[in-house]
Amino acid sequence: MILRDGCKLVYHRLPWQEPFAPYLLEVLYEDDDMVALNKPSGLQVLPKGLFQQRTVLAQLQLKDWKMTSCCSKRKHVQSHPVPVHRLGRGTSGLLLCAKTKVSKVRLASYFAEGAINAGNKRDKSEFVEERKISKFYRALVTGILANDEVVVTQPIGLVHYPGVAEGLYAACSSGKPAMSKVCVLERLAHQNHTLVQVEIHSGRPHQIRIHLAYIGHPLVDDPLYGIGGHPKFVEPQSASMDSSFAYDGGYERPLQPVPGDCGYHLHAHWLVLCHPTTNKMVKIAAPLPQILQTREERRATTEQISG
C-alpha cells in the first residue's frame, strides 16, 4: 500500500538472540584516569553485527565505577570508561580504557603517533625506542621461523570480500603503512609451530594476523588469513549446522570466514605507556594462556601453584 502523511509503519521483528560470548572481565590496573582489562577470547569490544549487548562496551556501561572525591569534582570526567583501542573478537588480553575525556584524547594520540611513525620509517630495521606507548603480543604460528627476529612493514588496506560489505583488511600494496616486530620465543619442532612475541608499531585492523600470514607463518587455526596475508576461501558449510549464530527470522551465517571468527591464538600480553596525566611510565601485563607460555614459564607457574 502507499503510505500517506500521518501513517505509521511498525515492524514487529522477532526477538534478537545474540550468540553466547564469555563475559568475565578481570581488572588488571585502575586509577582515576584509566583502567586496563583482561578481555577473554570470544568477547567483542564494540557493538557490531551479531553482538550488540554482549560486548566490552556494554559491560563498561553497566558497572558502577568508583572515582575518588578529588577526581569526581574534575571536569571532563566520563560517566563510564571507553576503550581507546580495539582487540579482535578472537584476541584475548590487555585492553586499555579511558575514564576521562582528557585521558581518552591523550591515549588515542599515543596510538596515532605510532601509526604515523610507522609510515615515516624508511629503514625497516629501525624501530623507534622512545614512544608514548608500546604494545607486545604473544602468538602461536604455523611453521618454524628461521630468523630469531623479523620486522614486517607490509602495508594493510581494504580489499573486496564476499559477505563483508565494507571490505576486508589484508596485505595490500596500496594500503596504509604498518610495522610489526616479530621475535621468536620458542620453536616447537614436534608440532611445526613457533611461539613468538610481536611488538606492533602501528595499529591497523588485524595487523598481527595479516603480517604473520604475509611472511608465511599464519596464526595456528586462523580461519580467515592464509599465507601471503590474504583471505583463504573455503568450501561453505550449511548454516543450519552452526548454532553459534543468532536467529532473527532471516539471518544466515556468511558463506565464507569473517574477521570475527575465533579459533586462533593471539594474546595482548603487556604494554608500557606514559601515563596520560602524571607522565610516569606504567607497565601493565595480562596473564598468559597456557598454550602461549614457554616451557620455562609453564614450569614456573606449576611450581608456584604447588608451592
pLDDT, one tens digit per residue, over 32-59 is 999 999 999 999 999 988 888 899 999 9
Q: What is the pLDDT of residues 247-298, one digit of tens each?
A: 554 455 667 888 889 999 999 999 999 999 999 999 999 999 999 999 999 9
Distances (CA, A) of 20 to 14, 26, 42, 48: 18, 19, 9, 15
Split at pLDDT 50, 70, 90, the class of 239 is: very low
- Residue 243 burial by CB count (10 A; 0-12/13-18/19+): exposed, middle or buried? exposed
What percent of the chain is modeled with pLDDT above 70?
A: 84
| pLDDT value, residue 307 | 67
**How far is residue 115's CA from residue 176's CA, in Å, rounded to a whole number?**
9
- Amino acid type, 19: P
